[in-house]
Amino acid sequence: MSESRLHLHFLSLILLCCVSPSSFFDLNIDYSSYVACHPHQTKALTEFMNEFDSSYCNLNDPFNGVWCDNSTGAVTMLRLQSCLSGTLKPNSSLFRLHHLRHLNLTQNNFISSSLHSEFGNLNRLEVLSLSNNGFVGQVPSSFNSLSLLSVLKLSKNELTGSFPLLWNLTKLSFLSLSYNYFSGTLNPNSTSLFDLHHLRSLSLGYNNFSSSIPSEIGNLNKLEYLYISSNDFFGQVPPTISNLTSLTELYLEHNQLTGSFPLVQNLTMLSTIDVSDNHFSGTIPSSLTTMPFLLSLNLRENDLIGSIGFPNSSTPSRLEKLYLGNNHFEGKIIEPISNLINLKLLDISFLNTSYPIDLSLFSSQKSLLHLDLSDNSISPASLDTNSDIPTNLENLLLGSCGITEFPNILKNLEKLEFIDISGNIIKGKAPEWLWKLPRLNTLYISNNSLNGFQGPVDVLVNSSVKNLFMDQNYFEGAVPILPLSINAFTASFNRFRGRIPLSICNCRSLTHLKLDYNNLTGPIPQCLSNLLVVNLRKNNLEGSIPDTFNIGASLQTLDVGHNRLTGKLPRSLQNCSSLEFLVADHNMIEDTFPFWLKDLPNLQVLILSSNKLYGSISPPDQGPLGFPELRIFEISDNKFTGSLPPTYFVDWKAPFLMMKKYGVLYMEYGKYTCGGMFYFSMEAIDLQYKGLSMEHGMVLNSYATIDFSRNSIEGQIPESIGLLKALIALNFSNNAFTGHIPLSLANLSNLESLDLSSNHLSGTIPYGLGSLSFLEYINVSHNQLKGEIPQGTQIIGQPQSSFEGNAGLCGLPLQETCFGTNAPPTPRPSEEEKEEEEELLIWKGVATGYGLGALLGLAIAQVIASYKPEWLVKIIGPNKHINR
């Protein structure tokens, strides 16, 4: 069939739609002679594009376009990438383009749109790509009528439900459902997957499929690409996998697969095998390394045992990347691994072997660029200058290897770009030659016992190092003068003294600066306003926070807590629209509450406790507080006054949001991306709640905390507090709150710590609090409460002191029984309370208006949090590696 491309710039489409229908056709006839598209079709297309904000669509760029059939004028191919924004409706004109054979709408923004069953009308489609769009809901059964499809891409959406009904798509050769929320099993009796005999590429990765791999997988014997990583696949890989003789890439990583290594030795086309992060056990089949096309083999993080045996084969292996780390190999590496002559990347970290590894074992790997030996013991002699190790090495990882002396071997490795010797016990001073390595880019020397630098004070200045991580050592004296081109410098938990050198202002590329937990004095330099992350916590800095943040400032994190800062909060922080963390607790800042930050779209953490802040805590208009993304809000121990209006918390939607990859520094290992990512935590926050110890360096996940304690806030606790479903800790103690404890607190089903002590609260403790099953700590002492304490298991296990000092509480854990006293009966929801509940519902309505996504978002967020592993990354502490 012949096609021609519609040469219409989108501007002309806008013009077309602005005129009356009749003139529309007049105009269009002109065009149709040129573009060979039928007027009806052009009209439908125009209408489709006008359903969205499509002002960025350029139909003339190489990726986008419209193609029509030369003889019929029907639109047969439509490609629009990254330019549509809006909701796709079931009556969309898209579904009138019945002749479409190729539809590619990758990476648009179809806000909370479903995959409407009307897609089934486009039953001439051969290629359908709707990846990366934000589609929600299930794949409708009407997709089953797209029987001509050979390519179906639905990856990177928010689709749910079980494997879609596709048994009629017998021509399908390419199917991608990865990065969605699909779930359920792949039972061959109920899924259509194993009928898709023509599949050459199957991607199901990053979903929530929970299934064994049925032996029917062997039916898909045309498969070349199989990607089922990051699901919950369990059990053994069936032997029928050896039927997939065309397979070139096999990705099974990050599941719960068990049993011996899959039978893949006969799949001679394989170039990539990744089975990492499963529970495969037994020994490694030695024939793997001699598979004819195998370039990359990843066996990390399994339960494989035995010695790492490599056949003494005369056939050189083609293998370029070999990951064996984090297994249970007991043996000693005796033989030089001589047939792996093409190896560029070798990861044998964390072998659990008791034998020290001698670096000279790798002397024959002349191609080796990346060597990861972390978490092994290394023979000290082999770290000496005379050791014979491959001199082309670009990345060398020797973290946690028990090294005690600075490894002089590095001096010979002039091509090194990335060095990790963190987590050792290296003493003394960092040698001067280190800074002369000509290509050094990233250096981890954190967690050692280093106490200074050899050489003059400006020894680092000419180094090429861009990322320098030296936290948790004993460096003392002045902060060194940094190389001009440095990007990240972290030196937390050292003993640096004196001022932050003004020379830092010359480092124009600096984005991350962490000097927290040192003993720095003097002012904060005025020049730090262009950084992304500034952490100066726990020093003795003085003066005020510089008021130098310009519009467009990229600041994401500012932590200046625990210093001696005075003055006001800088008003220019308003310009930092990327600001996520603002932490300035334990200083002497004297100011009113920063309502002027209430519109910051990304602010998630606001910690201003223990300062000299004063004035009313309620917004001047007595309306909601604002701060839509806030989830950690701590202002305890100030002099705040005022009362909280009923709608105070209705703007908050953030408690549902996910941990983003804060401060993630992603290192490409030269050209060879390695399994490990390097993170460094920028947002280590000390959160102290009674009954909850939240450790420094914890990950902020989908929860919220509020601490207003030790102020002089009065009035009622707003019922809208009950909207913050993600709240896990609430501290209103030591204020002057009056009225009843809000019934809506019983809705906070994730609450773990509740402190309302030392206020003037009256009435009874709401019955519903007894059923909060996560409540570990509750304190309502020193109020004027009366009646029966709700007898939930979490409550009666609390100490008596949590209830003492009230007017008339009775029941466990107190000794006063309610029986025979004049205490009011156990409060159950009364008419009045129901009214309050209704009020809450109204607020819920309001909240929904503010952010429907918020309430719906809860479910989605929890879903994501519950299984998306890279978002659940635990930051193990400053400068620690994960994925080890």
Ligand X SMILES: *[C@@H]1O[C@H](CO)[C@@H](O)[C@H](O)[C@H]1NC(C)=O
Residues near ligand X (CB under 6 A) are 2, 4, 36, 63, 70, 79, 81, 89, 91, 104, 106, 127, 129, 144-145, 147, 151, 153, 168, 181, 183, 187, 189, 208, 210, 218-219, 221, 232, 240, 242-243, 263, 266, 312, 335, 497, 519, 863, 866-867
Q: Which of 361, 341, 338, 366 is nearest to 351 (CA)?
A: 361
Comparison of 187 and 367: residue with beta carbon closer to ligand X: 187
Name the residue with tokens 């991580």.
469
Q: How far apart are CA 715 and CA 560, in angstroms?
A: 32
Q: How far is the CB of 622 from ligand X (least distance, A)?
A: 37
CB of 333 to ligand X, least distance (A): 12
Decide whether 129 or 448 has the Cβ nearer to ligand X: 129
**Contact between 496 and 517 (Cβ < 8 Å):** no
Q: How far is the CB of 278 from ligand X (least distance, A)?
A: 16
Nearer of residues 224 and 232 to ligand X, judged by Cβ: 232
Minimum distance, C-beta of residue 445 to ligand X, in the bound complex (Å): 21
- Which phi and psi angles does 503 have, rounded to 5°? -60, -20
36 versus 532: smaller Cβ distance to ligand X: 36
Output 497 or 661, the one with its CB closest to ligand X: 497
Q: How far is the CB of 521 from ligand X (least distance, A)?
A: 7
Spatial contact of 470 and 491, defined as CB atoms under 8 Å apart: yes
Tokens of 396: 């060398």
Q: Which helix (H) or strand (E) holds 430?
A: strand 427-430
Q: Report how far residue 196's alpha carbon sits from residue 194's, in angstroms, rounded to the nearest whole number.
A: 5
Select 145 or 749, whichever has its Cβ closest to ligand X.
145
CB of 606 to ligand X, least distance (A): 28
Contact 266, 246 (CB under 8 A): no
Within a 10 A sphere around the Cβ of 289, how many other Cβ atoms?
Answer: 23
Tokens of 274: 């990744």
Of the pair 406, 517, the CB lying nearest ligand X is at 517
SS3 861: helix
The residue (of 113 and 490) whose beta carbon lies closer to ligand X is 113
- Which one, 335 or 547, has the nearer CB to ligand X? 335
Phi, psi of 535, deg, nearest 5: -125, 110
Please enumerate in sequence order all residues whose Cβ is within 8 A of that of 515, keeping only pairs 6 or more positions apart, or say none: 479, 491, 492, 496, 500, 535, 536, 539
Nearer to ligand X by Cβ, of 185 and 506: the residue is 185
Query: 43 or 653: whose CB is closer to ligand X?
Result: 43
Q: How far is the CB of 864 from ligand X (least distance, A)?
A: 8
Distance CA 589, CA 571 (A): 13
Q: For ligand X, give the closer residue by CB, 36 or 486.
A: 36
691 in Cβ contact with 619 (< 8 Å): no
Minimum CB separation of residue 79 from ligand X in Å reads 6
CB 859, min distance to ligand X, A = 9
Q: Which is nearer to ligand X, 61 or 384 (CB)?
A: 61
Tell me the closest approach of the beta carbon of residue 127 to ligand X, in angstroms: 5
Closest CA to 292 of 271, 275, 314, 312: 271
Cα separation, 624 vs 630, whole angstroms: 13
CB of 181 to ligand X, least distance (A): 5
**Residue 249 or 414 having the CB closest to ligand X:** 249
Tell me how crowded residue 830 is: count the other CB atoms within 10 A of its CB.
10
Cα–Cα distance measured from residue 614 to residue 616, given in angstroms and rounded to the nearest whole number: 7
Residue 842: what residue type?
Answer: I
Q: Give min distance, CB of 660 to ligand X, in A.
A: 19
Question: Residue 597 or residue 861: which is nearer to ligand X going by CB?
Answer: 861
> What does the block give as tokens for 101?
């054979």
Among 801, 760, 810, 805, smallest CA distance to 777 is for 801
Give residue number: closest CB to ligand X: 218
For residue 878, is the peptide bond before it cis, meaning its omega torsion is within 30 degrees of 0? no
| CA 730 – CA 777 distance, rounded (Å) | 10
Which tokens is 248 given?
């070139």
Could you give the CA distance from residue 11 to residue 104 in angstroms, rounded to a whole number? 21
AA letter at 20: S
Give residue 285's identity as a one-letter amino acid code. Answer: P
Q: What is the DSSP letter of 571?
A: G
Torsion of CA 654, 656, 659, 660, to 10 degrees: -60
Q: How far is CA 79 from CA 51, 76, 650, 824, in A?
A: 16, 10, 41, 70
Closest contact distance (angstroms) between CB of 113 and ligand X is 12
CA distance 198 to 168: 12
Q: Which is nearer to ligand X, 268 or 391 (CB)?
A: 268
Nearest distance from C-beta of residue 183 to ligand X, angstroms: 4
Contact 440, 459 (CB under 8 A): no
Q: How far is the CB of 354 from ligand X (least distance, A)?
A: 21
CB 176 within 8 A of CB 199: no
User: CB of 496: closest distance to ligand X in angstroms?
Assistant: 10
